Chain A
Amino acid sequence: MRRFALSVAGLALLLGEAAMGQHGPRKVTFNREIAPIVFHNCAPCHRPGEGGPFPLMNYREVASHARQIVTVTASRFMPPWLPDKGDYPLADDARLTPQQIALFARWVKDGELEGAAKDLPALPHFVEGWQLGKPDMILKAPKPFVLPASGSDTYWNFVLPIPVERTRWVKAIEIRPGNKKVVHHANILLDRLGTAREMEKTPGDGFGGMEIRVESEVFDPDSHLLFWKPGTRIEPEPDGLAFRVDKGTDLLLNAHLQPSGKPEPIQPTVGLYFTDKPADKKPMLLEIEHDSALDIPAGVKDFAVTDSFTLPLDVDVLAVYPHAHYLGKDILAMVTMPDGTKKTLIHIPHWDVNWQAVFTYAKPVTLRRGTVISMRYTYDNSEDNIANPNHPPQRVLGGNRATDEMAHLWLQVLPHAQPDSTVDPRMVLQEALSRHEVEKDATNFEAQYNLAAICSMRGDVKEALPHYEAAAALRPKDPVVNNALGSALLSNGSVGPAIERLKEALALRPGYFDAHYNLAIAYSSQDNPAEAAREFGEAARLKPGDANAHANFGATLAQLGRLEEAKRELEAALKIEPGHELAKENLAQVNEMLAEGKK
């Protein structure tokens, strides 16, 4: 009883002087108690041109939604903010305090008074247009997508080519998703290989789909979680954390759209702010997931999926992006320190895919080597879950469609350099993660492929081979894995099997430069200059700007005694890359032979 009495007294104190006058409780007014909360927490979105469906900028506007505000703040639907208060504070935490929520209810109970004009605080200064001033480059989706008036939510992908002529570093990005009343959130991926373009029927069309993966053929892990949600504050990246875009890089903007009742054309624009200072810190995205464990029987209310990953080195965690679909219920990520201390990285007790977001830590969270990052997600596949896409519920598996499920925990981490190693710490982290994935699920193609690629990058072809073979067995019709396996076999001295794989890659993807090039090398190593010349020739034709292809083509032609053609190719190589040593040496020899021939 005593404790109860104390806590009540505490609450009265917390409600504060604002509500307690000298002569007993005084009435809550808009100008004195409500406006400061609304102006700071609601008006950034609830103002003209922003995502909030109605403005909340003055007494009249707020009063005309007063009871609604009481309801939605009490249920914590508004302001939209999914995570509980965890052990590590999050930037821009939008949660209202229980005292603030109570004030709304009291205001309505007290008669929705406006109060004295002198009490009204000024509206915050809202920047109109681009938040950081005019961007250095503005990209616009080539064509609008027209969202139908009704139907279920839509995920639409826009491909925005970046017209840069050279590598640029981006220090800030502002995503203007189009009509903010229907765009619920948007994600941006950097597509360095044109994967997304190939998914468009005609260029600029865009395409539907909730989950998009872009390919990368080199070790170039994504480093940033580029995300827009209503109310996103635009801030330049901290010093040294810019991200790179190259000639040919596309932005892939994945937008979650919610029909409004009328057809809505959506045409996003993106502003890029460049810096001359290249990044000197190299963060990467760490994806902990356990989709293969997702096999949720119909009707089950509490299906749990777990995974844990032990850090192979020290990292700073900068941001977190938990991801599940419509059945997600309780999302928890914990860390267990080497000394056994446990902390909560993020906890979302009532998952709602509509309000998924990237959360940035107010201060980077440093985790030591040996720390275990663990996730525990639960799913409600019963009729009680009103977001359940199936009615009646059905068995649901992991997958990319909106009606499939996911169990992903993305972390943006900055791995610390290892004192006694020159190896890129991102590679150490990626290798550990891929190994973990392979151990968990040997049929995970991506993990097998990535592990093999990293092993071969650090020169361990012997270790790479079985993983390439596993990947190739999982996807025998994938030209990229056939080429990679061929190349690894070649490095391992197995020329015959390598040639088979490379030929297979070319049968699957005619005009595949890498496979032609690798096949040419294989023939060269068999002292078969005729076949080698044919393959190098094809490679040089496919990529006329590749100095190596021309130089090697020239060298094999010279071996075949086709000196004039050899000279032409070697000169082509030097035109592209004037310092190309091999081409220089070979050209000198060829010129000598030609001069001798003339004599």
Chain B
Amino acid sequence: MRRVVDRGLHAGARLCLVAALSVAAVAASGPRSATGIDLQGRTVDPLAADRGKATVLVYVRTDCPVSSRYAPTVQKLAAEYGGKSKFWLVYPAKTDTVPVIEKYLKDFEYKLDALQDPGRGLVKVGDAEITPSVSVFSANGELLYHGRIDNWYEDFGRARREPTTHELADALAAAVAGKRPAVSTAPAVGCYISDLQ
């Protein structure tokens, strides 16, 4: 059994009171909370869609410049781990409508499947707070890592020439090897999902 219950076990294992509380909230919302809507309007559970592969939810917003600048990095990693992982772009903003997302995918040459997340179920299941950020799940749906893609950005407007740590790549490498990454979370820089209506 994948989905939120497994994730809940993981969060519980972290022995963190706040995490445990949020687990309760997620659990209360039921399994439906882990679904998004694809661009054809179908309900999709990305954590159940590709069994046997690691899942990466990439939270983005079309009007978030930091999200956009990460497009080549995300696309490259998705291509690199193509056989062993499944990447999904998750759009939590209601203003990111199907035509807006379709144009964005074309402009940024994304070849990934996209999901709208109007109910924020996918945001909750991945503990996401920021766009851009990622949540990496093991092949059996356990949340292994959530947070920044790498440390390119230190703060708004304060970017390194090149990142010096690569949290997403490290988490992916661990996930496909069936291991737990050394780092389970790292703060992302970008737009707050909670700012969205």
Known: A64-B95, A261-B72, A261-B108. A352 touches B157 (CB 8 A): yes
Please tell me which one of the listed residues B67, B70, B192 contacts residue A68 in the complex, with CB atoms under 8 A apart: B192
Name the distance in Å between A180's Cβ and chain B's nearest Cβ. Answer: 12
Q: Which residues of chain B (67-123) have a CB below 8 Å from chain A?
A: 67-73, 93, 95, 107-109
In the bound complex, how far is the Cα of B154 from the Cα of A149, in angstroms? 21
Which of A185-193, A384-392, A457-465, A536-544 is the interface stretch? A384-392
Please tell me which one of the listed residues B156, B162, B197 contacts residue A72 in the complex, with CB atoms under 8 A apart: B156
In the bound complex, how far is the Cα of B129 from the Cα of A67, in angstroms? 12
Contacts of A261 in B (CB 8 A): 67-72, 108
Q: Which residues of chain A (66-81) have a CB below 8 Å from chain B?
A: 66-68, 71-72, 75, 77-78, 80
Type the 1/0 row for B28-72, where 1 means its CB is closer than 8 Å to any CB of A. 000000000000000000000000000000000001110111111
A-B contact pairs, 6 of them (CB 8 A): A53-B64, A67-B192, A260-B68, A261-B72, A262-B109, A326-B161
In the bound complex, how far is the Cα of B162 from the Cα of A326, in angstroms? 13
Contacts of B166 in A (CB 8 A): none
**B184 within 8 A of partner (CB):** no
Contacts of B109 in A (CB 8 A): 149, 262
Inter-subunit contact A389/B161 (CB<8 Å): yes
Inter-subunit contact A391/B164 (CB<8 Å): yes
Q: Which residues of chain A (135-181) have a CB below 8 Å from chain B?
A: 149-150, 152, 181
Contacts of A477 in B (CB 8 A): none
**A354 within 8 A of partner (CB):** yes
Tell me the nearest residue of chain B to A355, going by C-beta: B157
Contacts of A63 in B (CB 8 A): 195, 197
Inter-subunit contact A152/B162 (CB<8 Å): yes
Type the 1/0 row for B169-183, where 1 means its CB is closer than 8 Å to any CB of A. 000000000000000
In the bound complex, how far is the Cα of B193 from the Cα of A65, in angstroms? 9
Residue of B95, B109, B160 contacting most chain A CB atoms (<10 Å): B160
**A60 within 8 A of partner (CB):** yes
Known: A63-B197, A68-B195, A149-B109. A75 touches B71 (CB 8 A): no
Inter-subunit contact B161/A260 (CB<8 Å): no
Please tell me which one of the listed residues A72, A80, A260 contacts residue B69 in the complex, with CB atoms under 8 A apart: A260
Inter-subunit contact A181/B108 (CB<8 Å): no
**A194 within 8 A of partner (CB):** no
- Which residues of B does A touch, CB under 8 Å? 63-65, 67-73, 93, 95, 107-109, 154-162, 164, 191-192, 194-197
**A115 within 8 A of partner (CB):** no
Name the distance in Å between B96's Cβ and chain A's nearest Cβ. Answer: 11
Q: Which residues of chain A (386-430) have a CB below 8 Å from chain B?
A: 386-389, 391
Inter-subunit contact B195/A149 (CB<8 Å): no
Known: A77-B155, A389-B161, A391-B162. A65 touches B195 (CB 8 A): yes
In the bound complex, how far is the Cα of B56 from the Cα of A42, in angstroms? 35
Contacts of A64 in B (CB 8 A): 93, 95, 195-197
Tally chain A residues at the interface, Cβ within 8 Å: 32
Contacts of A208 in B (CB 8 A): none
Inter-subunit contact B156/A77 (CB<8 Å): yes
Inter-subunit contact B65/A75 (CB<8 Å): no
Tell me the nearest residue of chain A to B66, going by C-beta: A53
**A303 within 8 A of partner (CB):** no
Inter-subunit contact A387/B191 (CB<8 Å): no
**A54 within 8 A of partner (CB):** yes
Contacts of A149 in B (CB 8 A): 71-72, 108-109
Inter-subunit contact B72/A150 (CB<8 Å): yes
Inter-subunit contact A53/B65 (CB<8 Å): yes
Contacts of B196 in A (CB 8 A): 64
In the bound complex, how far is the Cα of B69 from the Cα of A60, in angstroms? 24
Known: A63-B195, A64-B95, A75-B156. A152 touches B64 (CB 8 A): no
Tell me the nearest residue of chain B to A69, going by C-beta: B195
Known: A261-B69, A262-B108. 9 other contacts (CB 8 A): A259-B69, A260-B65, A261-B67, A261-B70, A261-B72, A262-B68, A387-B160, A387-B161, A391-B161
In the bound complex, how far is the Cα of B196 from the Cα of A289, in angstroms? 48
In the bound complex, how far is the Cα of B191 from the Cα of A591, in angstroms? 85
Nearest 3 interchain pairs by C-beta = A150-B72, A261-B71, A53-B65
Tell me the nearest residue of chain A to B71, going by C-beta: A261
Name the distance in Å between A53's Cβ and chain B's nearest Cβ. Answer: 4
Contacts of A68 in B (CB 8 A): 156, 191-192, 195
Contacts of A181 in B (CB 8 A): 65
Inter-subunit contact B156/A71 (CB<8 Å): yes
Contacts of A391 in B (CB 8 A): 160-162, 164
Contacts of B93 in A (CB 8 A): 64
Contacts of B155 in A (CB 8 A): 75, 77
Contacts of B67 in A (CB 8 A): 261
Residue of A53, A352, A389 contacting most chain B CB atoms (<10 Å): A53
Residue of B95, B158, B195, B197 contacting most chain A CB atoms (<10 Å): B195
